[in-house]
Chains A and B, each alone.
Chain A
C-alpha cells in the first residue's frame, strides 16, 4: 500500500502534503497532539471524505467506484458505533449483509469473529447490555468480519479505562499476529503506540504533517513482561521526545 501525498482543507488546513508508505503486515501508529489531522488522514485512507489534492495508491487491482480496494479495509471508530436496535450478532453481520450475505450464510464467519474477541456468548445481547470495553470488542469483530487486509483504528480505546485498554491492546496484538493484517492505529498515547506498533509515525499540527518516522525493533514478545521491561521504557522515552518536538513545532506554527 503506497500513499503518495494529500492535502486537505475545509477552511483550515488539516493536512499539508502528507506522505506515507505503508508496507503489508506493518502495525503503524499515527501519534500526535490533538488537531494534528491524524484522524483526518485515517478517514481519507478509508475513503470517507476525499483529499483536496494528492492521491492514494493501492497495489490491489480490484478497486471499486470510490477508489477503495473492495472489501480490503476495516474501520474501528472512536466510539463503538453500534446500531442500538440490533443484537451483537446483527451488528457484526452488517458488513456481510450489505454485501448480500444472508444470516445463515454469514453465521459461521460472524460467530468465529465474535469468539476471537471473546464475545461468543453475547451474540444475542443488545449493545446497551454491554460494557464499554465489550462494545469496542464488538466493533473490532465487525471490522474484521470481512477479512480485510488493512485495519484502520481511530483512537479506539481513548474512552476506556486503563485496565480494559491494556487488555484490548493485548487482544489487538494477538489478532494482528494471527491474521497478518496491516494495521494503522491512531492514538495520542505514547505508551499505547510504543507497546503496539512496529513503526510509529509522529505527526505535528498546523499544518498536519509527518514529523518523525520511528521503526520500533524488538525481539521481545510484547506481553506483560514487555510492559515493564527496560527496552519498553527506552522506546517510550524516544517516542516521547519525538512527540515533544512535534508539539513544539506545531506551537511555533512553522
Chain B
C-alpha cells in the first residue's frame, strides 16, 4: 500500500491519461493547505460579518463592541486579564491532571475485581450525576479556600469521563491475547502494563478529549457559582465583573481568551491522542482504499 504512492506520482509526471491518479495523489498537498486555510478563512469571514453588522446597523458600542475594540481591550487590559488567565489555566490543568491520575488509577483498581467495582461505582455515578453547580456552594464552605473548591469542582467533572472510558477500555481487551498472556505465565502486573494499558489507549484518548474540554468548562462554571474576587480571580470573575461595569470590550476580550484556551486544550489533547495512536489504531489512521 505504501509503495503505491511513488508509482502513481511517477505516472502523473509522465502526463499520461491517468487523470484519476493525478487527482487522487496531487490533492494531498492541496488538501493540507486547504485544511488549514478553510478554517482560518471562515473565522476571518465571521469577524468580517461581525464588523459589517456593527457598521451597517450602527450598533452602539455599549451593546456590542466592534472587533477592533475587543483587540484594543485585550491589549490595554492585559495587566488585569493575564493574571486571571493564569488562575483559570492553573485550575483547569491541575484539575485535568488530577482527573487523569485519579481516573486511570481508580479504573485499574475497579477492574481488579467485580466486588470492588460494585462497591465503588455508585459513588462515581453519584458524583457524576449531581449537578456540580448545586454542590459548589457546599464545597466553598467545606474547603479551606476558594481555589481548592474550584479545583475540586473541575476535578469532579473531568474525572468521570476518564474513569468510565478507562474502565471500558481495560475490560475490552482481546480475550485471545489474554489467553496468550496466561499461556506464557504472565503475572498480573505484566498483563496490566504490557496488555491492558496499551490496548485501552484508544479509550484513554477519548476520555482525555472529553475530560480536557470539561475541565475548562467546569472551572469557569465553578467560579461563576463561587463568585471569587480580588487577587485570585479567574477569567470567569472578569467576565462577571466586566458585565456589571458594562465594560463590554473587556468582557469580549476575556471571552476570547477563554475560547482560545479551549481551542488550545482541544489541540493538545488531539495531539496527544494522535501521538498515542497514529501508528496502529483505526481512529487515527487515514482510510486507504
Contact = CB atoms under 8 A, between A and B. Distances in A.
Q: Are A and B genuine complex partners?
A: yes
Interface string B162-191: 000000000000101101111111100010
Contact of A98 (B181, B201, B281, B285): B181
B279 A85 contact: yes
Nearest to A97: B194
Contacts of A97: 194
Nearest to B176: A81
Q: Is the interface of B mostly helix, strand, loop or mixed?
A: helix
Contact of B184 (A77, A98, A127): A98
Contact of B280 (A78, A84, A98): A84
B199 interface: yes
Contact of B198 (A77, A81, A83, A99): A83
A246 B195 CA distance: 40
Q: Is the interface of A mostly helix, strand, loop or mixed?
A: loop
Nearest to A127: B280
B185 A64 contact: yes
Contact of A77 (B2, B180, B199): B180
A84 B181 CA distance: 15
A230 B120 CA distance: 68
Interface string A211-252: 000000000000000000000000000000000000000000
Given A79-B176, A81-B176, A73 B183 contact: yes
Interface residues of A, number: 26
A77 B185 contact: no
A73 B184 CA distance: 9
Most chain A CB neighbours (cut-off 10 Å) among B1, B176, B180: B180
Interface string A148-168: 000000000000000000000
Nearest to A82: B177
A86 B199 CA distance: 10
Given A98-B184, A98-B190, A85 B198 contact: yes
Contact of B177 (A73, A83, A98, A99): A83
Contact of B183 (A48, A126, A127, A129): A48
A81 B199 contact: no
Given A126-B280, A129-B1, A75 B201 contact: no
Contacts of B177: 81, 83
Contacts of B2: 129
A62 B126 CA distance: 52
Contacts of A103: none
Contacts of B1: 129
Contacts of B186: 98
A99 B190 CA distance: 10
Contacts of A17: none
B204 to A, nearest CB: 12
Interface of A: 43, 46-48, 64, 66, 73, 75, 77-79, 81, 83-86, 94-95, 97-99, 126-129, 146
22 contacts: A43-B179, A47-B182, A48-B182, A75-B179, A75-B183, A78-B176, A79-B176, A84-B280, A84-B281, A85-B198, A85-B199, A85-B280, A94-B180, A94-B184, A94-B194, A95-B184, A98-B184, A98-B185, A98-B194, A99-B184, A99-B185, A129-B1
